[in-house]
Amino acid sequence: MLDAHPHAIAGAHDAHGGHHEIEIPFNVTPRPDTGLYNAKLGIWLFLASEVMLFGALFSSLILLRTMSASWPRGWLELNVPLATINTMVLIISSVTVVLAWANFRLGNFQRGRLFILITLLCGLGFMIIKGFEYAHKFELHHHPSTNNFFATYFMLTGLHGLHVLGGMAVFLYFLTAGS
User: Where does residue 45 rank: exposed (0-12), middle (13-18), buried (19+ CB within 10 A)?
Assistant: exposed
Domain tally for the chain?
1
What CATH number does the domain containing 166 carry?
A: 1.20.120.80
Q: How does pLDDT run across 118-160, given as a tens digit for each residue?
A: 999 999 999 999 999 999 999 999 999 999 999 999 999 999 9
Range of the domain at 133: 73-179
Contact 161, 130 (CB under 8 A): yes
Answer whether residue 13 is part of any domain. Answer: no
CA distances from 119 to 115, 136, 157, 165 (A): 6, 26, 19, 12
Answer whether residue 35 is part of any domain. Answer: no
Q: How does pLDDT run across 9-53, given as a tens digit for each residue?
A: 455 455 556 666 777 776 778 888 888 888 888 888 999 999 999
